Amino acid sequence: MQTQLNNILKQKGFLQLTRENEQSIEKQPPITTTKNTSIQLLDTGVLLVEPSDYNGTDLVISSGVHGNETAPIEIVDKLVEKIINEKLTVSSRVLFIIGNPVAMNQSQRFDVENMNRLFNGKHQDKDHHEAKRAERLEHYVSEFYNTRASSGSVSGTDSVTRLHYDLHTAIRPSKYKKFAIYPFPDGKPWDKSQLEFFLSSDINTILLGHQPAGTFSYFTSHQFNAHGFTVELGKVKPFGENDPQDFTHITRNLERLIEGKPVDTKTFDNQDFNLFQVKHELLKQSESFKLNISQDVENFTSFEQGYQLTDDADGGYQVEATGEAIVFPNENVPVGQRAGLVVVKTRL
């Protein structure tokens, strides 16, 4: 059985193996490449890669936390394929994740509950599979960041760089096609070198997080001091309909991180970016809540001062200053939950 699963991984790939085992997989013995890179399935959709010559970077690349966001899953699948086929020389430790295989097999964003609200312990006291899966993913990530490479110490330094890119695609189109969400940094300064990495990855729109959250990327940045980010790479499409050309830059830069090669960056300059901060959270206060925008309005669409953006039992939200924009509008959330964010441009 064990050899079989590793054979499926090698022959059919990480995505297909995950598809065929949506609930779980027992931890498998590692496969070792001719370059002594160890590749080990820890669970379904969770794959640990450890090089023989470790450069001190611990990199988590996650996808499919929302099951229907297929482009990131395909990116992860291709990176794993290149590693298995020894087309990439691995220098970083890498944990690859396909987050929600059950929802993926249903072509759904989620089965019971949005998993990207369930991290950082918010899965506690919940019994459904997304809560259990979030808990397991937290466990694997904790082990990953807390374990030093078995293959030896980092040459010349004790410091380890922890990175986490949680790759997504968005439900609706965006005025800025790709953007990253920088989780609330808990008082730490915003790291401009990370923003330089995004610019080099063809992502120049950044939304700065304003408070703790149940997202996967806030979990890694808060708990492990990782540079963790939610990365939105465009619009949701079914498997097979994504154009790899749309993801050339981010894929190339992830490959460079895996290989330990430098990423071409340019010194941070506000002018190169659209930086947004959150001004207001649109909380759905009652069943009479209504968003006064059309179904297909793009993320980051801005409004004139005085525009009645929402109606609700408490009077709703009226735009206070021209230029306020909306992100992640979604009326169909339970009362008490966030139905969108009002954001404004900022500088660092």
Supply the residues annotated as catalytic: 232
Does 168 count as an annotated binding residue? yes
Report the residue number, 66 or 222, with the smaller CB distance to Zn ion.
66
Closest separation between CB of residue 225 and Zn ion, Å?
24
Backbone angles phi, psi at 232, to 5 degrees: -100, 120
Report the residue number, 82 or 122, with the smaller CB distance to Zn ion.
122
Q: In the Cβ-directed half-sphere of 137, how many Cα atoms lie within 13 Å?
A: 38
Radius of gyration, CA atoms only, the chain:
20
By the rule CB under 5 A, 129 interacts with Zn ion: no
By the rule CB under 5 A, 235 interacts with Zn ion: no
In this structure, what DSSP letter does residue 318 have? B
Strand 290-291 to strand 301-302: parallel, antiparallel, or no bridges (unpaired)? unpaired
Closest separation between CB of residue 35 and Zn ion, Å?
34
By the rule CB under 5 A, 66 interacts with Zn ion: yes
d(CA 25, CA 46): 9
Question: Alpha carbon of 139 to those of 119, 121, 127, 278, 312: distances in Å?
Answer: 11, 11, 17, 30, 40
d(CA 279, CA 150): 46
Does 280 count as an annotated binding residue? no
Residue keyed to tokens 């703790």: 212
Closest separation between CB of residue 66 and Zn ion, Å?
4
Report the residue number, 56 or 64, with the smaller CB distance to Zn ion.
64
Closest separation between CB of residue 132 and Zn ion, Å?
19
The answer to whether the beta carbons of residues 181 and 207 sit under 8 Å apart is yes
d(CA 119, CA 254): 24
Find the length of the chain: 348
CB atoms within 10 A of CB 87: 11
Report the residue number, 88 or 137, with the smaller CB distance to Zn ion.
137
Q: Is the dihedral of CA 122, 333, 305, 231 positive or negative?
A: positive
Closest separation between CB of residue 310 and Zn ion, Å?
23
Q: Which two tokens stand for residue 299?
A: 């993320």
Report the residue number, 38 or 70, with the smaller CB distance to Zn ion.
70
Report the residue number, 180 or 319, with the smaller CB distance to Zn ion.
180
Scanning 144-152, 166-174, 261-269, 295-303 for contacts with Zn ion by CB under 5 A, the matching segment is: 166-174
Which residue lies nearest Zn ion, judged by its C-beta? 168
Residue keyed to tokens 């939200």: 317
Closest separation between CB of residue 166 and Zn ion, Å?
8
From candidates 19, 78, 162, 168, binder to Zn ion by CB under 5 A: 168
In this structure, what DSSP letter does residue 17 have? H
How many positions of this chain bind Zn ion (CB under 5 A)?
3
Scanning 160-168, 242-250, 264-272, 296-304 for contacts with Zn ion by CB under 5 A, the matching segment is: 160-168
Does 69 count as an annotated binding residue? yes
Please give the annotated binding residues for Zn(2+), written as ranges: 66, 69, 168
Please give the annotated binding residues, written as ranges: 66, 69, 168
- Give the residues lining the site for Zn ion (CB under 5 A): 66, 69, 168
